[in-house]
């Protein structure tokens, strides 16, 4: 009887163990299925996110390519516009030089009040007599002062009857100043009252050429070039007597000289 009772107790214990094992197995399977479902949902969600990110990247890449193409097109148009503008500026420069080919500028002469066009004609003639380049009234097509707020003594512009006459007038002024190194052309030669002031005569220069001439003079001063001048709308420099004459077409020519 005791032996049978012990076997029943052992059998019951095994059944309980099996039940516990079964319950544990089911619990593990349930947990595993939950984990698998979570992982599957996560992978699916991650895949969907990746697809959305990929689509966004593709969209941004497409827009970037479109933007790059637009920028290239704008750069090409800008380059074409720049060339066209430079071409127009060159034409304007040419026409302005042609129209002003016989014009001179007389700078630093005080203005009298009142001052008429006849007064200016007489002043130009007096300058011509002083430098030994006399002018008749018919040699002066037009004369006026530039309306500038910067200069107190506004520049006098005189259009002569020919380029030859203009060149002779300017050349005579240079000769006069060379001969009278200690007493170059001034207001005292023109019998203008007041403090003695130097008077400068040059050919008419376009805005572009004036800017270039200013740059060339600064270059000549800082690099020991002895001469810097203009002739027929062109700018030239020379380092010393006997040295080659260098024509300055634009500011890049000055940069090239500096690199030599």
Q: At what angle do helices 251-259 and 207-222 cross, to 10 degrees?
A: 20
Q: What percent of the chain has pLDDT over 90?
A: 32
Residue 8 has pLDDT above 70, yes or no: no
pLDDT band at 164 (very low <50, low <70, confident <90, very high): very high
The number of angstroms, rounded, from the C-alpha of 208 to the middle of its chain's C-alpha atoms is: 14
Average pLDDT, the chain: 84
Residue 219 has pLDDT above 80, yes or no: yes
More confident residue, 33 or 45: 33
Q: What is the DSSP string of 134-169?
A: ---GGGEEEEEE---SS-SSPPEEEEES-HHHHHHH
pLDDT band at 17 (very low <50, low <70, confident <90, very high): low
pLDDT band at 51 (very low <50, low <70, confident <90, very high): confident
Place of tokens 């006849």: 118
Report the pLDDT value the prediction gives residue 45, as an integer from 0 to 100: 66
Report the pLDDT value the prediction gives residue 10, as an integer from 0 to 100: 52
Instruction: For residues 136-149, give the mean pLDDT.
Output: 90
Locate 65 and state its tokens: 């390519």
Upper half-sphere CA count for residue 23 (Cβ side, 13 Å) = 6
Could you give phi then psi for residue 131, rounded to 5 degrees?
-95, 10
> What would the pLDDT profile of 56-97 be if each residue is shown by its tens digit?
787 788 888 888 898 889 999 999 998 898 888 888 888 888
């Amino acid at each position: 009887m005791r032996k049978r009772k012990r076997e029943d107790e052992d059998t019951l214990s095994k059944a309980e163990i099996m039940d516990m094992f079964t319950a544990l197995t089911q619990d593990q399977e349930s947990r595993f299925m939950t984990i698998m479902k979570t992982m599957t949902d996560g992978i699916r969600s991650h895949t969907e996110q990746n697809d959305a990110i990929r689509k966004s990247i593709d969209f941004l890449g497409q827009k970037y390519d479109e933007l790059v193409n637009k920028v290239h097109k704008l750069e090409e148009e800008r380059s074409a516009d720049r060339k066209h503008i430079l071409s127009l500026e060159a034409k304007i420069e040419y026409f302005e030089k042609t129209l002003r080919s016989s014009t001179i500028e007389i700078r630093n002469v005080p203005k009298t009040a009142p001052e008429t066009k006849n007064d200016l004609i007489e002043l130009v003639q007096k300058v011509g007599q002083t430098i030994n380049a006399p002018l008749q009234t018919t040699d002066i097509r037009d004369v006026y002062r530039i309306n500038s707020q910067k200069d107190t003594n506004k520049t006098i512009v005189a259009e002569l009857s020919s380029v030859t006459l203009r060149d002779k007038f300017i050349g005579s002024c240079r000769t006069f100043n060379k001969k009278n190194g200690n007493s170059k052309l001034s207001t005292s030669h023109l019998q203008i009252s007041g403090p003695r002031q130097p008077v400068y005569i040059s050919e008419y220069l376009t805005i572009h050429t004036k800017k270039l001439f200013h740059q060339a003079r600064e270059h000549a001063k800082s690099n020991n070039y002895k001469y810097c001048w203009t002739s027929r709308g062109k700018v030239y420099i020379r380092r010393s007597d006997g040295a080659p004459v260098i024509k300055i077409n634009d500011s890049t020519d000055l940069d090239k000289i500096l690199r030599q």
